[in-house]
Amino acid sequence: MIRYFSTRGERGVSLESALLRGLASDGGLYLPNRIPPAKVAWRKQERFADLAVLILRPFLNGMVPERHIAPLLRAALNFPVPLVHLPGWQGVTVVELFHGPTHSFKDFGARTMARLMTQLARHAPLTIVVATSGDTGSAVADGFAGLEGLRVALLFPDGQVSPTQAQQLTLRRPGVRAFAVRGTFDDCQAMVKGVLAAPEELTLSAANSISVGRLLPQMLYYYWAVSRSKAEDAIFSVPCGNLGNLTGGVLATLAGLPVGRFLAAHNANAAFIRYLEKGDAAFGPSVRTLSNAMDVGSPSNFERLRVLVPDLRDHVTGYSVSDEATLRSMRRVHEETGYVADPHTAVALEAVRRHRRATGRAQPALVLATAHPAKFPATVRWALGREPDIPPGLAGLSECPKQVRSLKASRGALIEALRNWQ
């Protein structure tokens, strides 16, 4: 049975404990103690959920009864994951991860984790605390809403998410409370870590990318993309913030997935790239950009990556893309291929262009598209001079009832709010 150990050394615990605690008691992040090679049949799966069962079964064994694994994963991963070849950009394929209910790739992790947590929730009512820079919160809120014995507190930096994201975050949902924190995303994350490290009498758990329950399902679409595209040795270009998505890909390669290289595509928040280039892990505060879900100054999954792959440089190349270059990338891709990319995906597309230029090779590239462009209508209009098409799930959001409270950026204020849950 796979156990989960802390990046800071704490001994292995069960998946159940790792999910409940979120963060290990020594402050580290959980990782599986071994990564079994994926069953070769992963290449033959026609449905995403079947692939998910095959890959995740060994990680869930021991906690989720065998007969529950397939229904649980089918309910969580019930949306399409299409691959789109960009005409004119030879060998570049966009892997659209934004067809879940909240239209960002966070749905993979959040929906799977929510259903895993229902397997625990029988024992005690649980409050899930989430810091979000935009997409995590709505994915988690949507995944957990209405599940018995579970509540969700969402913390987001006031005024620093897009209007569409703000509407999604503050939708009134059963068992969910949204808090607009007067501070940055890093403040929100520090508050969550603060209450989880010493939860007092509250029963709390995390749902950030720090939860191993969110991390494991983020391996899946890497397998899917390779099996669908038949691209061996492809480059994966990953829009990076907290590095959870990239960590999912690295786990997949450790289980045997053939990948040529990862591109860590960052916006101006590029401390991880400085680490890759100079070996200096000097993380600092975040700066605001157009790809705001990637505005992370101190990526928490860095700690996991360093434990998993001591020499990251052999596997990952980083590119930092400014806001101006992001807008140019959106425009260029649209003009040359007709594809409308959201700002996060545009950063990853630009990383591929730069990597091809730097290496002089046109290696096949799989570009992870992490958000639907309709979540960023103002940026799309700015770049392309027209509005993106709005999918049914995002239309009419403004008319739905909302709920949100303003909160000071302090651990004390959060504890107070959790105690006085109404």
Ligand X SMILES: *Cc1c(COP(=O)(O)O)cnc(C)c1O
The least distance separating ligand X from the CB of residue 71, rounded to whole angstroms, comes to 27
Residue 344 in contact with ligand X, rule: CB under 6 A:
yes
- H/E element, 408: strand 405-408
Cβ 74 to ligand X shortest distance, Å:
24
Pairing of strands 92-96, 83-85: antiparallel
How near is the Cβ of 240 to ligand X at its closest, in Å?
Answer: 4
Question: Is residue 102 within 8 Å of 168, Cβ to Cβ?
Answer: yes
**Which value, in Å, is the radius of gyration of the alpha carbons in the chain?**
20
164 binds ligand X (CB under 6 A): no
Phi-psi region of 11 (alpha: psi -120 to 50; beta: other; left: phi over 0): beta
Q: 341-370 in b/e burial notation, b at 16+ Cβ within 10 A? A: bbbbbbbbbbbbbbbbeeeeeeebbbbbbb
- Number of residues binding to ligand X, judged by CB under 6 A: 17
How far is 224 from 252, CA to CA, in rounded Å? 11
Of 54 and 365, the one with the shorter C-beta distance to ligand X is 365
Nearer to ligand X, 28 or 239 (CB): 239
**What is the pattern of x (binds ligand X, CB under 6 A) and - over residues 237-256?**
--xxxxxxx-----------
Beta carbons of 273 and 320 less than 8 angstroms apart: yes
Please give the Cα distance from 59 to 161 (Å, whole number): 34
Q: Are 192 and 205 in contact, with CB atoms under 8 Å apart?
A: no
Binding track, positions 249-288, relative to ligand X; x by CB under 6 A? ----------------------------------------
Closer CB to ligand X, 28 or 137, in the complex: 137
Q: For residues 103 and 415, which CB has a smaller minimum distance to ligand X in the complex? A: 103
In the bound state with ligand X, the residue whose beta carbon lies nearer, of 55 and 250, is: 250
Cα separation values, 296 from 137, 276, 304, 317, Å:
15, 16, 16, 18
Q: Which is nearer to ligand X, 45 or 245 (CB)?
A: 245
Listed residue (127, 103, 124, 226) closest to 177, CA to CA? 127
List, in sequence order, every residue forming a beta bridge with 407; answer none if it has no partner. 181
Sign of CA dihedral 170, 208, 264, 366: negative
- Shortest distance, position 416 Cβ to ligand X, whole Å: 28
Q: How far is the CB of 142 from ligand X (least distance, A)?
A: 13
Closest to ligand X by CB, 168 vs 205, is 168
Binding of ligand X at residue 373 (CB under 6 A)? no
| Out of 371, 409, 415, 418, the residue judged to bind ligand X by CB under 6 A | 371
One residue of 293, 316, 352, 394 binding ligand X per CB under 6 A: 293
Shortest Å, Cβ 101 to ligand X: 14
Provide the minimum distance between the beta carbon of 247 and ligand X in the complex, in angstroms, as a whole number: 7
Contact 243, 302 (CB under 8 A): yes
- Lay out the site mask for ligand X across 221-240 (x = CB under 6 A, - = otherwise): ------------------xx
Q: How far is the CB of 377 from ligand X (least distance, A)?
A: 15
184 counts as binding ligand X under rule CB under 6 A = no
| Residue carrying structure tokens 């991390």 | 215
Q: Which is nearer to ligand X, 45 or 317 (CB)?
A: 317
Q: How many CA atoms lie within 13 A of 149 on its CB side?
A: 11
Q: Compare residues 57 and 288 and give the one whose CB is closer to ligand X.
A: 288
Binding to ligand X (CB under 6 A): which residues in 89-148?
A: 104, 106, 134-135
Q: How far is the CB of 122 from ligand X (least distance, A)?
A: 30
Furthest C-alpha separation in the chain:
59
> Binding to ligand X by residue 294, rule CB under 6 A?
yes
Residues that bind ligand X (CB under 6 A): 104, 106, 134-135, 209, 239-245, 293-294, 344, 370-371
